[in-house]
Structure 1
Amino acid sequence: MVNALIRTVLGDVEPRLLGLCDAHDHLFIRSPQLPGQELGDASAARAELNAFRSVGGGGVVQWTPYGLGRRVADLPLLSRASGVHVVCATGLHQAAHYSPELLESLRGGLAEVFVSELTEGVGPSGIRAGLIKVAGGFHGLDAHARWTMTAAAEAHRATGAPIAVHLELGTGALDVLDLLCGALGVEPHRVILGHLNRSPDLVVQRQAADAGAYLAFDGPSRAHHATDWRMPDAVRALAEAGFGDRLLLGGDTVVAGARSADGGPGMPYLLRRVGPRLAVELGEELVERVFRENPARAFSVEWR
């Protein structure tokens, strides 16, 4: 893109300044689906960013959307103190994460909420979101997913913001692309598909990459998922098929116990262990591309 910028919580920056990037993670998140496991401690978030910075990290994309405890007003201070660029999201997760009353209040105006948060700022903070996060269902799209994705496409057309999609257990990628890029006309390279590592279907992954979408392999913080040990095979297969420029890596830390200070892998694990593991098998040039060049393109926008 010409004159494209990445919208961080400290303002728009040139893509090259993002540095080595955790393309999908959370500094704050609160949901009834995670009772008692909220990420809500600003000091812990700062420690995690500092730990990520200590291993060379330069940018973190927080996928926490509307209504899930983003604590957007805290993000600029954390970014400035740690020296790590932070991108925050607007958007809406699956219906199970919200009260019926909140969802009803958004009927008829969801796209406008997304556009406002991308252009005017989130609430009174004035801090603008840099991407739209939505979610699919298990092997399909329910009415809620279609509603939120339709609103996301409308907001994308108004702003150019990329759309990041939570794939439930890694499934439904092609249904998402059929809706967003087929029926709703979003260009595939503006769509980022998350959690593909949780359903290690190499055929579907290749089809999604061939369509032009970005593929995010995220979640080494998750136990009992097909993550670390299968992910290198998927990344290698996609790279050898010519899709090395479509790959992203993220940590997706969603509970306090997954943070590095609490004994979990946390954000630093991506650069401390995942990156070197991939470099042994795939070479440092590809790993550099996945951590630096690909997110710089995936999250950059000629803001409208």
Structure 2
Amino acid sequence: MNAVRTVLGDVPPERLGVCDAHDHLFLSSPALPGQELHKVSAARAELAAFRARGGGSVVQWTPYGMGRRAADLPALSRESGVHVVAATGLHQRAQYADAVIDELRGRLAEVFVAELTEGIGTSGVRAGLIKVAGGFHALDAHARWTMTAAAEAHRATGAPVSVHLEHGTGALDVLDLLCGELAVPPHRVILGHLNRSPDFAGHRQAAEAGCYLAFDGPSRAHHATDWRMPDAVRALAEAGFGDRLLLGGDTTTDAGRSVNGGPGMPYLLRRVAPRLALAVGEELVARILTENPGRAFAVEWG
């Protein structure tokens, strides 16, 4: 039995509607000092703007210890009419103080499972995916630790595993570890930020492995996102992998919100989807935004 675990409960995959497959309503990162996403009012406005463009669901990839504000998510989802999926998991080592990592030693998988099955903190909001991260063209000890815990949590809960690829690199190393050594089924793995490295051969190899490929982060400065993404998606579609593709916005700073003059969540539907439709057709874009996320983010059990 499959369902997508939203902050308001489990819903059938076909009820997601148009999905922003990777974004952030709330985020606090030491890499982005002074640019935190922490305002409830701004998150509310962003969801409303996304909904006005036809958006139906948002998958928030903000993991443990990075300002998820899980307790605020149900009301925002209810008020906006947009399904929201929350994440457990752990980002790169640089995102955390030593005390946080020390406190998680020996129980990381246990924390992930608890947040997936019981709730995040005292919020009662259950996470719907496990987010981890690789490094630049490599996997360090921290990445291997977090991915090992993610694999354990996946086996215990059936939740999908999403992966931040640093600058879009290291996809095959991630798959060797997660799907090879740790035996996570490839269709339960979502690789993020492939737009940042326009390596068409690497994209093809990752797709052949059976995972989902997310092109997320439109109009991010110094990334090869906007101008190469349609070509990358077309190449994958022509090779028969249209059912493995996802699109997301990945808003990470307050200035990047549409309500503050940035592209924000609506940009995905306002500019990215129409431009992509010119390359691969409206029918495929519709499937990438609706059908594919329903499969990718479903929790499998039973």
Q: TM-score, normalised by structure 1?
A: 0.98
User: Which ranges of 4 or more aligned residues in structure 1 deviate by more than 3 Å?
Assistant: none
Question: Which of 280, 293, 296 lines up with 2:294 in the alignment?
Answer: 296
Q: SS of 2:5's equivalent?
A: strand
Once the two structures are TM-superposed, the CA of residue 221 in structure 1 deviates from its matched residue by 4.4
Percent of aligned positions that are identical:
77
What amino acid is aligned across from residue 40 of structure 1 in structure 2?
H
Question: Which of 30, 34, 51 lines up with 1:53 in the alignment?
Answer: 51
The 1-side partners of 2:216 and 2:274 are apart by 16
Once the two structures are TM-superposed, the CA of residue 281 in structure 1 deviates from its matched residue by 1.8
Q: SS of 2:299's equivalent?
A: coil
What amino acid is aligned across from residue 214 of structure 1 in structure 2?
Y
Matching of residues 80-91 of structure 1 within 5 Å: 80-91=78-89
Would you say the 8 A contact 1:221–1:266 is kept in 2?
A: no
5+ unaligned residues in a row in structure 2: which ranges?
A: none
The 2-side partners of 1:279 and 1:199 are apart by 21
Give the structure 2 partner of residue 240 of structure 1.
238
Once the two structures are TM-superposed, the CA of residue 223 in structure 1 deviates from its matched residue by 1.1
Would you say the 8 A contact 2:134–2:164 is kept in 1?
A: yes
Once the two structures are TM-superposed, the CA of residue 33 in structure 1 deviates from its matched residue by 1.1
Is the aligned partner of 1:275 residue 2:273? yes
Is the aligned partner of 1:6 residue 2:8? no
Question: Which of 251, 254, 257 lines up with 1:256 in the alignment?
Answer: 254
Once the two structures are TM-superposed, the CA of residue 73 in structure 1 deviates from its matched residue by 0.1
Q: SS of 2:300's equivalent?
A: coil
> Number of aligned pairs?
302
The 1-side partners of 2:164 and 2:264 are apart by 19
The 1-side partners of 2:39 and 2:219 are apart by 18
The 1-side partners of 2:281 and 2:31 are apart by 39
Give the structure 2 partner of residue 150 of structure 1.
148
Instruction: Give CA deviations for 1:112-151 in whole Å, capped at 9, x if unaligned.
Output: 0000000000011111000000000000100000000000
Once the two structures are TM-superposed, the CA of residue 303 in structure 1 deviates from its matched residue by 3.9
What amino acid is aligned across from residue 8 of structure 1 in structure 2?
T
Q: SS of 1:61's equivalent?
A: strand
Would you say the 8 A contact 1:114–1:132 is kept in 2?
A: yes
Would you say the 8 A contact 1:132–1:162 is kept in 2?
A: yes
5+ unaligned residues in a row in structure 1: which ranges?
A: none
What amino acid is aligned across from residue 266 of structure 2 in structure 1?
P
What amino acid is aligned across from residue 92 of structure 1 in structure 2?
L
Give the structure 2 partner of residue 138 of structure 1.
136
Would you say the 8 A contact 1:221–1:258 is kept in 2?
A: no
Question: Which of 65, 68, 71 lines up with 2:66 in the alignment?
Answer: 68
What amino acid is aligned across from residue 189 of structure 1 in structure 2?
H
Give the structure 2 partner of residue 219 of structure 1.
217
